[in-house]
Chains A and B, each alone.
Chain A
Amino acid sequence: MADGDGKVGLLERVKEAGSHIRTSQLWSSIFRPGSPFRAGYNDSPRNRSYVIMNNVLYHLHPVKVKRHGVRLSYTLCLGGLSFFLFILLTITGIFLMFYYRPTSPAAFEDIQALSTNIAFGQLVRNMHRWGAHAMVLTVFLHMARVFYHGAYKPPREFNWVVGVVLLLLTLLLSFTGYLLPWDQLALWAVTVGSNMGRYSPVIGDQVSFALVGGVQITPDTLLRWYVLHVLFLPFIIVIFMAVHFWRVRKDGGISGPL
């Protein structure tokens, strides 16, 4: 249509509209000074600092990082991948929650329906499951990486302890989610796993009772673990993650080169 009038080409019109949008008040109110999306951005050291400083990323990253820490071979991005996977699991998990009822036969039927009736249901469920296993793996490998770099040494001792708590919470999140499909695999894997808690000295029966909500796994356990899985444990792990990331920065960023 724009080509038809022969005066202004479509490309120019789009460009003009683009620059009009980028100089608008709305646009510049969204993207703070220094943002590469802002009109007139140029790649200067000052703007490179502003990109981080004027960005929510400033909560995670300083303006400058040690050069060796940027190398992929140093961190293998394992901590970051664990965090990305947590976000992916949150997104896919919310999707799954729309179609899931944590009651006895319904839970299993809903998972079956996800595989057959619901658009992208099977894909999202697969992503959630494989992502969860991958997260356990990346958290574990991240811990090993940190150990071999001696990155737990002062002043980072306490952040290592926070990291151990995060590892435990990751395992618990994975374990509570394991029961939710309510199939034979889920039921008996969780039975075997949670039976171990019963052998705790002195408080074994109480631990087991609190965990499964009874002397053995019942549909009540399903509801209990569902709430733990979608509310309680994510809430706790987010708090610990916030402390973990904050301490990484406060303790001087990534640990020094070997």
Chain B
Amino acid sequence: MSEVPEHILRRSAKARAAEGRSPDEVPATAPSQPAEPAPAAAATAPLEAAPAATPTAAAPAAATNGGATRDLAAEEAQFGVPANLLRRGAMARAKAQGTPVPAFAGESAPATVAVATAAPTGGGGAAAAPPAAPAIPEGVRTQRLLTVVKAGAIQKVKTEPHDKVSTWPHLVLIEFVALIVITVALIVFSAFVDAPLLELANFNEQPNPSKAPWYFLGLQELLAYFDPQVAGVIIPGFGLLGLAMVPYVDRNPAVRPSDRKLAIMIFSFFLFASAILTIYGSFFRGPGFNFTFPWSEGIFFDF
């Protein structure tokens, strides 16, 4: 039998006193010594009395009060449904239809609800609290919900399982081949194409045209159209800042290209714009950084 803390007992006694019953009416160990006899159940429950005369055929279990006594243990053995569930179901049915609570074999006569709340059903089985008639007026709460622990709420699996392969050999092999390929490609290319080396640096003789390294030629091309402060500082500065801010500006969680057309369009616009500017600055700009066709006047470009 579970122990009921003293303050709970005191509180329930107080609540019972407020209802106008004597505090010693219901002891904590209700099942073993039902303080209130069975007739009291009918007397304290006026709502039971009226519909008791109209039992429905659909609920054979909810037979008239004092009629068939249900043997829950036998039913449990027969249907495989736990006895406490059977009892709860019968109680609920009785309450819904307004019929009296059926009697159960092997259990004492129904006690009051206050018993059930004061002495939680510990131990299970026959020792559990007997079915209760609504002895407490409507609107009086005799139970409190402490917490609801959902199944699986403590350890939550967030990630979906993925189709995975072993890094060795699958990924490492590909990386190794890539490493070999890039090394060999670089060696072969370097064996045939020499890096440019012009004459010694001379501060007094500026070549015409003077071009920045190829990755800055897009910016140098912009210098032909805009003020240096715009083309040389503001555009690259804001470009870099905007690039870094992409994940914080693009709040669309989708990754499918068809779901993020705007982002792809904007990025592609800048990508192609910079590529076109770079190519234009590299191959279509001749002496004086004037427009030229690479096939007519030659290429003024060095890597």
**Given that A84-B182, A174-B213, A185-B198 are known contacts, is A65 also in contact with B187, CB under 8 Å in the complex?**
no
**Beta-carbon contact of B178 and A196 below 8 Å:** no
CB distance from A233 to the nearest CB of B (A): 15
**Beta-carbon contact of B187 and A131 below 8 Å:** no
Residue of A nearest to B178 (CB): A77
Q: Which of A8-16, A21-29, A108-116, A239-247 contacts B (4 or more CB under 8 A)?
A: A108-116
Number of interface residues of B (CB under 8 A): 72
**B190-219 interface (Cβ within 8 A of A):** 190-191, 193-203, 205-207, 210-216, 219
Q: State A141–B175 Cα separation when bound (angstroms).
A: 18
**Which residues of A lie under 8 Å from residue B174 when comparing CB positions?**
70, 72, 77
Residue of B nearest to A182 (CB): B201
**Beta-carbon contact of A123 and B246 below 8 Å:** no
**Which residues of B lie under 8 Å from residue A133 when comparing CB positions?**
214, 303
- Check if A237 is an interface residue, CB within 8 A of chain B: no
Q: State A63–B166 Cα separation when bound (angstroms).
A: 6
**Which residues of A lie under 8 Å from residue B195 when comparing CB positions?**
125-126, 128-130
**Beta-carbon contact of B169 and A48 below 8 Å:** yes
Number of interface residues of A (CB under 8 A): 87
Q: Which of A123, A140, A152, A184 contacts B207 (CB 8 A)?
A: A184
CB distance from A145 to the nearest CB of B (A): 11
**Which residues of B lie under 8 Å from residue A112 when comparing CB positions?**
197
* 0 or 1 for each of B229-246: is its CB under 8 Å from A? (1 = yes): 101110010001001101
**Given that A52-B168, A88-B186, A133-B303 are known contacts, is A157 also in contact with B248, CB under 8 Å in the complex?**
yes
**Which residues of B lie under 8 Å from residue A88 when comparing CB positions?**
182-183, 186
**Which residues of B lie under 8 Å from residue A150 when comparing CB positions?**
254-255, 260, 263
**Which residues of A lie under 8 Å from residue B175 when comparing CB positions?**
77, 80
**A112-138 interface (Cβ within 8 A of B):** 112, 115, 122-123, 125-131, 133-134, 136
**Given that A126-B190, A129-B303 are known contacts, is A157 also in contact with B200, CB under 8 Å in the complex?**
no
5 tightest A-B contacts by CB?
A126-B190, A196-B232, A157-B247, A150-B255, A187-B201
Q: Which residues of A contact B (CB under 8 A)?
A: 45, 48-49, 51-52, 57, 61-70, 72, 77, 80-81, 84-85, 88, 105, 108, 111-112, 115, 122-123, 125-131, 133-134, 136, 140, 144, 147-154, 156-158, 160-161, 164-165, 168, 171, 174-175, 178, 181-193, 195-197, 199-201, 204, 217, 252, 255-256, 258
Q: Which residues of B contact A (CB under 8 A)?
A: 159, 162-172, 174-175, 178-179, 182-183, 186-187, 189-191, 193-203, 205-207, 210-216, 219-220, 223, 228-229, 231-233, 236, 240, 243-244, 246-248, 250, 253-257, 260, 263-264, 267, 271, 302-303
